[in-house]
Amino acid sequence: MRKFGALVGRGGRVLDVACGPALDVRLLRDAGLRVYAGDLAAEPMRLGHTLFPKGALARWDFRRLPFGDAVFDGIWAPAALHHLPRREIRGALAEWRRVQRRGPIFVTFREGSAELEPVDDPPAGTVYATTISAGQLKALLIDAGYDEVEVEPRPDPLERGDVTWVYGWGRLPAP
DSSP 100: B
> Per residue in 1-48, pLDDT tens?
888 999 999 999 999 999 888 889 889 998 999 999 999 987 777 777
Provide mean pLDDT across the span 69-98.
97
DSSP 174: P
> Per residue in 142-163, pLDDT tens?
999 999 999 999 999 989 899 9
State the pTM of this model: 0.93
Give the start-to-end residue ranges of the domains of the chain: 2-172
Element (H, E) at 168: strand 164-172
pLDDT of residue 120: 84
Q: Is the pLDDT of residue 137 over 90?
A: yes
Architecture of domain 2-172: 3-Layer(aba) Sandwich (3.40)
Omega of the bond leading into 153 within 30 degrees of 0 (cis): no
Residue 66 confidence class, pLDDT cut points 50, 70, 90: very high
Asked whether the beta carbons of 82 and 140 are under 8 A apart, the reply is no
